[in-house]
Structure 1
Amino acid sequence: MRSADLLADAFGRVREAVHEGVGGLTTDDLAARLDGGANSVAWLVWHLTRVQDDHVSDAANTEQTWTTEGWYERFGLPFSPAATGYGHRGRDVARVRAPADLLLGYHDAVHERTVAYVRGLRNADLDRVVDEAWTPPVTLGVRLISVIEDDLQHAGQAAFIRGALRRR
């Protein structure tokens, strides 16, 4: 098995977890927060997708799906087009309201571009440095694993919130 196949499989698992966390929830469910400082399912899925879009697009040296395919306009959020959710506070989290089809549509569009990119990678590509702001510098392989790990954590958080809402 090639590394590219493993990466594509891992991003596929992220997609499955996102669909399981979002599917069947109303817009109100998706925006619900367990308390005033908590994230919502909508914010978590928006954020994990924005980070994947941002980081993979940067590594691939392409424009983000968020802006090139009109998702920024469709969401209509009161944030800059460059916002990914880093540094957001409770009031910012509360501003992310979106129906399931919009969240899943954006995630699926990013997923398709991500998988198309990683399927074209060779093992040697994973050693390319993509971020020199860290010590040691971040390679493409480390960046992609970092995105997968972050995405899966947030998808798990969304699943937890979904479960808590269903128990109410």
Structure 2
Amino acid sequence: MNIPEMYACLMRARRVLRTALQAVPDEVLARPLLGGERFHCIKDLLLHIAVVEDGWINGDIRRAQTVLDEWPDLNARAEGPQQAATPLATLLDYWDAVEARTLAYLSGLTPAELTRVVTVEDWPPQHQRFTVDGVLWHVLQHEIRHTAQIALLLRLQDITPPTLDLLFYLSPVPLSTPETIHDHS
């Protein structure tokens, strides 16, 4: 599986998650269930997922203006536990805008771009260097990890979370396709 294929699977899972969250009462999405400095509720995690994708891809890889820069109300409180009062629709609209920009970038992804080295200035310790391929896989894995947290937070509130497992988004192999047996001895 390559990065654009994995991103397509994540987008399909996002649609399922989005539909499920839109059916959840706002007080559940805003309920402070997590301690710590940055994330207290599901809405905080939703914004964080989108901000990380936006920052790494648009800011660090592309060295362009982030989508968040165009959302001053969200930008002012993007890294704190302050999204409880933000309408879910606003968070989802921002995530959609990030997704659109990511899709545009991924449509031109080349093998040379994947091997390009980028310097990440805000990752401790400062000025770390990674390949674009590594950063993109980090962004994808980051979303998977945090959507699992959201699923757990829903379950802790007696709400059945949506199924987000990768196998539900992969195309199955037809039964008529012969299986390959590998000898690992």
The equivalent of 1:117 in structure 2 is 105
Structure 1 pair 29/22, CA: closer, same or farther in 2 (3 Å)? same
Deviates more, 1:29-38 or 1:122-131: 29-38
The one of 126, 135, 138 equivalent to 1:143 is 135
Distance (Å, rounded) in 1 between the aligned partners of 2:64 and 2:21: 28
Structure 1: where are the runs of 5+ without partners?
86-91
The answer as to 2:154 corresponding to 1:162 is yes
5 Å-filtered alignment, 1:27-38, equals 27-34=26-33, 36-37=35-36
The equivalent of 1:88 in structure 2 is none
SS in 1 for 2:157: helix
Which amino acid in the other structure matches residue 87 of structure 2?
P
Give 1:47 deviation, angstroms. 0.8
The equivalent of 2:50 in structure 1 is 49
Identical amino acids, percent of aligned pairs: 26
Deviations 1:42-70 (A, max 9, x none): 000111111111111121222111112xx
Deviates more, 1:5-14 or 1:46-55: 5-14
Distance (Å, rounded) in 2 between the aligned partners of 1:24 and 1:154: 19
Deviations 1:98-138 (A, max 9, x none): 2221111111110111111111111221000112623xx30
Contact 2:34 / 2:41 at 8 angstroms: preserved in 1? no
* Structure 2 length-normalised TM: 0.69
The one of 130, 148, 152 equivalent to 2:144 is 152
Give 1:16 deviation, angstroms. 3.4
Distance (Å, rounded) in 1 between the aligned partners of 2:13 and 2:65: 22
The one of 67, 70, 75 equivalent to 2:69 is 67
Count of paired positions: 149
RMSD: 2.5
Structure 1 pair 146/10, CA: closer, same or farther in 2 (3 Å)? farther
Which amino acid in the other structure matches residue 29 of structure 1?
V
Structure 1 pair 42/150, CA: closer, same or farther in 2 (3 Å)? same
SS in 2 for 1:148: helix
Task: Give the structure with higher Rg (CA).
Answer: 2
Distance (Å, rounded) in 1 between the aligned partners of 2:146 and 2:20: 10
Flag the structure with more relative contact order, 1 or 2, with Cα contacts below 8 A and sequence separation at least 6: 1
More helix per residue: 1 or 2?
Answer: 1
